[in-house]
Chains A and B, each alone.
Chain A
Amino acid sequence: MRQIWQKLKVLGRGKLAFSAAMAYLLCLLVLISILPWLPLPYAPNYLDLSHTLQPPFSANAAGAEEGFHLLGTDALGRDVLSNMLYGARTAFFVSLPVMLLSTLLGLLVGMSAGYFAGKGVSLNRGKFLVLCLSFLLFAFYAVYLPAKAWRLGLGDDVIFYSLGTFLLFTVLLYTLFFSLFRRIRTLKKKVVFPVDELVLKVIEVLSSIPRFVLILLLAALFPPSVVLLSAILVFTLWTETARLARAEMLRTRQLSYFEAAHSLGLTNWQLLYRQALPNIVGPILVSFTFGLGSLLTLESTLSFLNIGVPTTFVSWGRLIAGIKTNTSAWWLVLFPGAMLTATVLALYTTSYYLTSAFTQHKD
């Protein structure tokens, strides 16, 4: 971690573009976190129907005494400036958690896949059997029955009983099988569970459909809501990080310090998270900043198309979509579009300089 911080400091001193991008991003983050306390004249969803489609900086925009539409209004009289700033707020509030979650998921899956590549996880048959059976139990008692009970509105006690049954059966299964293991020889034989192949297949299936099409498809299946859309985005984005983490893990696995740690007899967990992770964080950080930029684009594109988000959701995309009603209202595209582009550009710039910093280190 300290090493990464050092690198950031060196970059900040040397490269003007990098420090400019970082300064812009920091200012934006501060701005969007204190936004509710700023004295903006209009709320983003306030409809000022007496001043619709006002051009920016115009004199007659200052008509009402309560405020002044600095950057104009859209067809329903919503203030462009406050929509723009609140749009930045929601864009980051959606994108940051989504990107964090998908990076964590991808890191976890990719690192395990890379670590177990070629050897797989070996289990004895008995354990494997128990795992499969308890998975079936989980699917029925902890997913299917509670979901059905919830849909039918049968009350909490039914859900409670079915979860209880799941726990009871699992405990029974484990005690039964572990007492049987000692007796039956065939259950002791090893089965190799190919984690890496499985992960690669899943990634292949998910990326066989172009990402944007996949997101649109999933958004059509679920009702429009920000939480569900975020879940969909996490589900489709993790593969990128997983692929990178797997490749980095495969590289790290062959380094001599890692082999030394392995020969010391550390556990899998220690090897993965104490030894390998610090070496992998750098490239992941690069892909995080880059991914955040493309996620901002993706999110505003979706809200521009009005897919997956409710219509009351304040966003850059919705603001820009206002131009569909009047193509001469250039200010609806220019200002939010410029802000979106500047933010994405800042993120890409950061990611570019980080890449060069981390690849120099490798040589």
Chain B
Amino acid sequence: MPPYLLKRILYAIPFLWLVASVIFLLSRLLPGSFAEARILEEKQGYYSKGSQSTRQAVYQDYLHKTRQDLPLFYFSLSPALPQGVLLEADKLQAERLLWKYGDKEAVHPYLESLPHLEQELRLSPQDDAAEHLETLHKSLDKEKMLLAATAIYREATTKEAQKAAEQVVLGLQAMQPQPAYSFLLPTFTWHGAQNQYHQWLFQTLKGDLGVSYRSSRPVGELLWEAISNTFWLLLSSMLIVFFLALELSMCLVQGKGKYLRRFLFPSFFVLDSIPAFVLALLLLVLFANPSFLQLFPVFGMGYYAAENLPPFARAGQWLQYMALPLLCLVLANLPYITNQVYTAVQSARQADYARTARAKGLSERAVIRTHVLRNALLPVITLVSDVLPALVAGSVIIETIFAIPGVGRLLVESVLARDYPVLLAIVLLTVLVRLVAYFMADVTYRWADPRLKHRTA
């Protein structure tokens, strides 16, 4: 492998790590997760029929299973929370207590004894317990909390409950208010390898991208499925676009292309200002609609086709479903790419060697095909390497409108469901493809322009 390629690969690794880490940390830092919305919401979802406590139990179990109960990073600037505190409201209360009453030695015994008491009270209910527990959960005033805890202690019906309440009282008594401005000093806590980031990083390095929050399926499998669904569609659309762009610009630069130019450039200009989703919907309304022309099927990829069709019939079926998306992709990309290729061909045509070729009596066609085209390839290669990553992320809009289960649609659905493992995997894949595209562009440059081989990278 040539040294310049090796160098680029070595640069790419810290870059990929940086992008992935930032996305991961942001997704865990910002409040409001998928699971919280799905499990704790009262009105919607699978768990809505369960009571408040079951839902909380399911949520805690889920957090534990996905290791979200661990601290986020290797260190933190505030004291750590005890292991059992998982619900958002409890976490806030615990953080407030830690803020007011200092480090974890002082507050943790109390915080750890409280869930135990709650469990006992669930087994042997008391009359006013709910009210007192509410005080323990909401208040920050030590005296009030002590009163509530002693009240529970006095009214306890079983020995276990009494014991648990005693623990809470002892825990509360041990808490001493901090000096008022102690929060201004950072408390540095080291968590070691037992943190979410470390676990995630090593899991990813082993090649395990995790499990989708939404469908609980492995992310790799989901991605692979999505790519295989739309790979041929996107690839063939790009091939068509580049073929058309090359042929069109070769027609356009010649003398007889004048009239074509006068017609084509303004129409490309208009086409370019139609947003892709409007274009797709207009095509859909025109050609796949019972009230206008029903030429094509509306959605999907023909899932109900017979299994044992001969290959050409299957291809025909596929084409029938893919015709409109294909047309749409071509129309959406053609103006920009033709414009770029045209500029490249035009500038190559005015170079000295082209004039020499013309002077020795070659026809215009031969000049362009054999001399100009190869030199105009360099900008085209750059263009291809720019388009390739967008190909993976797909034509988000067109896949959504035509209901094609590709990467773009997966992306939109994961955004709407806040399915971070899938999102992260898609972004990493696009970045990776971009890097690969750049390598390939480098190699192809050297093939298209041998002069580059002799220069040092």
Contacts and interface: CB of A to CB of B under 8 A. Distances in A.
Nearest to B26: A221
Interface stretch (A8-16, A23-31, A237-245, A338-346): A338-346
B396 A216 contact: yes
B415 A307 contact: yes
B285 A330 contact: yes
Nearest to B400: A305
A165 B423 contact: no
Contacts of B263: none
Question: Per DSSP, are chain A's interface residues mostly helix, strand or loop, or mixed?
Answer: helix
A161 B184 CA distance: 8
Contacts of A217: 23, 415, 423, 427
Given A162-B184, A223-B32, A333 B281 contact: yes
Interface stretch (B193-201, B214-222, B267-275, B369-377): B267-275
Nearest to A211: B390
Interface string B270-288: 1011111110011011001
B285 A333 contact: yes
Contacts of A152: 92, 95-96, 99
A210 B393 contact: yes
Contacts of A282: none
A267 B418 CA distance: 50
Contacts of A323: 281, 285
B77 interface: yes
A305 B398 CA distance: 11
Question: Per DSSP, are chain B's interface residues mostly helix, strand or loop, or mixed?
Answer: helix
A213 B285 contact: no
Given A307-B416, A333-B278, A341-B278, A209 B183 contact: no
A140 B77 contact: yes
A340 B272 CA distance: 12
B226 interface: no
Q: Max chain B CB contacts within 10 Å: which of A141, A209, A222, A293?
A: A209
Given A205-B18, A213-B427, A341 B274 contact: yes
Given A205-B18, A209-B431, A293 B92 contact: no
Nearest to B434: A208
Nearest to A293: B273
A212 B397 CA distance: 10
A165 B183 CA distance: 11
A210 B390 contact: yes
A158 B15 contact: no
Interface residues of B, number: 56
A328 interface: yes
B273 A348 contact: yes
Interface string A160-199: 0110010000000000000000000000000000000000
A305 B412 contact: yes
A344 B275 contact: yes
B47 to A, nearest CB: 22
Given A209-B430, A330-B285, A297 B415 contact: no
Nearest to B389: A210
Interface in B384-422: 389-390, 393, 396-397, 400, 411-412, 414-416, 418, 420
Given A161-B184, A209-B19, A345-B270, A300 B92 contact: no
B298 interface: yes
A252 B411 CA distance: 43
B456 interface: no
B340 to A, nearest CB: 16
B275 A301 contact: yes
Contacts of A209: 19, 427, 430-431
Q: Max chain B CB contacts within 10 Å: which of A210, A293, A327?
A: A210
A212 B393 CA distance: 9
A341 B281 CA distance: 13
Interface in B86-117: 92, 95-96, 99
Interface in B273-328: 273-278, 281-282, 284-285, 288-292, 298
10 contacts: A144-B77, A213-B427, A220-B415, A297-B275, A300-B275, A301-B397, A323-B281, A333-B278, A333-B282, A345-B270
Q: Which 5 pairs between the two chains have the least Cβ-Cβ distance? A: A337-B278, A345-B273, A220-B415, A344-B273, A297-B275
Given A148-B95, A220-B423, A334-B285, 18 more contacts: A213-B426, A213-B430, A217-B415, A221-B26, A222-B30, A223-B32, A300-B275, A301-B275, A301-B277, A307-B415, A320-B278, A327-B284, A327-B288, A330-B289, A333-B278, A337-B275, A344-B273, A352-B269
